[in-house]
Structure 1
């Protein structure tokens, strides 16, 4: 399974992690793991033209990633105990 991290370079924050291998029986071939519900909501409220970067420094617009998540992804929320 391949993994890729997506970052906000300006804020120096991890946005989400993408994993190959989602829920194939539901047509979802990718998993997107967000660190808490707040990060998921924050991402979907972000302006579409905002640029985020993969760990390989490849730029993506938030709009393109939203489309990929909605069409191909299973969203998972990681719960971190404090």
Structure 2
């Protein structure tokens, strides 16, 4: 594993860990936060007129990937919760 892969893996792992407990207890709130952060990071990723370079791009991509994973997990939990409510 090279430096960029290791750094990306760390960012994804730390982001998922940070949101992990909150996803369990309040997925709707975390979903809203993740979507807001994603919007910001997608804009920031597109605004590269100063030239972040390979490391900066890699870090941005890792943050976006982690937030997309958080978003997906929140959506899955909310869908499961809605399904459980329908069958009760």
For normalisation by structure 2, the TM-score amounts to: 0.27
Structure with larger Rg: 2
Greater strand percent: which structure? Answer: 1
Greater helix percent: which structure? Answer: 2
For normalisation by structure 1, the TM-score amounts to: 0.28
